[in-house]
Amino acid sequence: MDEIEVEAVDSLDPGITVDTAEYVLYGGKGGVGKTTMAAATAVASASDGTNTLVVSTDPAHSLSDTLEAEIPSRPHRIRENVPLWAVEIDPDDALDRTGMFGQDGALSGTLETMLGGDAGAPGGGDGSAAMMPGADEAAAMQLLLEYLDDDRFDRVVVDTAPTGHTLRLLELPEVMDSMVGQLMQVRERLGGMMDGLTGMFGGDDDASAEQTMGDLDAVKERVEQLRAVLTDPQRTDFRVVLVPEELSVAESNRLITRLDEYGVPVNTVVVNRVMEPLADVADVPADAFVAPNHEDCAFCARRWDVQQQALADAQDIFRGHTVKRVPLLAEEVRGERPLRVVAACLA
């Protein structure tokens, strides 16, 4: 097959201005392109001269592949010519660094015993923090809060974990309330018997229990701080990414509904991998990029019919939101040039 000549993106896009909030978060189902959108937004923001940090909270990181750079678990500048930093939050490292659940991220002995674990073996006897619902999300959240408040960065772009992880993070305050309530109930039922449990809990029970509930309150406070950021439309732009398929549209609608319940406003919906010419959505010459052939390719024509129905549904369901379309590109979206093309679609 003959190689397709594609005009250099730099000549097509001399400058993309990113006019958006201080914090930009991309959410949605796994595999729809959140990482691509976050990377593209961060690249364009930094190219505009804005000190930008792009953060991946997804345990299955792909940000380093998309940006074609080694990205550690601490913020690191990955471009010398533009002010772009990146970090991939590692859940285990986050637990170790925050220490919010005791040594090495494990549950405290008091909390573990009250909830039915083995106080003699941190984390339920296997060294893990698995008994603590949302422990990894809470630890990642604490680091994310630190990055959002970091004076080095004027904009923070977040590639969030898939839908379920994001919602569990927002549900953490209720989880904390429930756990603190359970602890109080246990203490009330045991009453004076607590004095006889010193050996089981190890040390002063009252002090240990107070410390446990204090730790839970601290976690809850941090999550509420994050909620305050997410619910502030002046500072945060939460964007939901989907693909033009019926199931993806439906799931995205459910996500937006749940986010609305938590007071998180979604301003933008990004429909990714649309089989239409790039020139239809970005300011590029019509012949600069190869486009799907809906006339001679039966497969392309059929997929376009399916996508058009999904696009129509999205326009109807997400009325009141800004709907951006990003065409399916012939080349893989990795590295500076294709990311700048995607950024042009989002601009």
Q: What's the predicted TM-score (pTM) here?
A: 0.77
Q: What radius of gyration do the chain's Cα atoms show?
A: 24
Each of the 347 residues of the chain gets a pLDDT tens digit; together they read 333 334 444 444 544 556 678 999 999 988 999 999 999 999 999 999 999 999 998 777 789 999 999 999 899 999 999 999 999 988 777 667 655 554 444 444 444 444 444 444 444 444 444 444 456 666 677 778 888 889 999 999 999 877 666 676 667 666 666 666 666 666 666 655 555 554 455 555 555 556 655 666 676 777 778 788 888 988 889 999 999 999 999 999 999 998 888 888 898 999 999 999 998 888 877 677 888 888 899 999 999 999 999 999 999 999 999 999 999 998 889 999 899 999 999 98
In the chain, where are the structural domains located? 9-110+129-172+232-346
Question: Environment class of residue 259 by beta-carbon count within 10 Å: exposed (0-12), middle (13-18) or buried (19+)?
Answer: buried
Predicted local distance difference test score (pLDDT) of residue 107? 45
Residue (of 58, 50, 74) closest to 26 by Cα position:
58
Domain with residues 9-110+129-172+232-346, CATH architecture: 3-Layer(aba) Sandwich (3.40)
Strands 23-27 and 155-159: parallel
Here the tokens at position 210 are: 């107070």
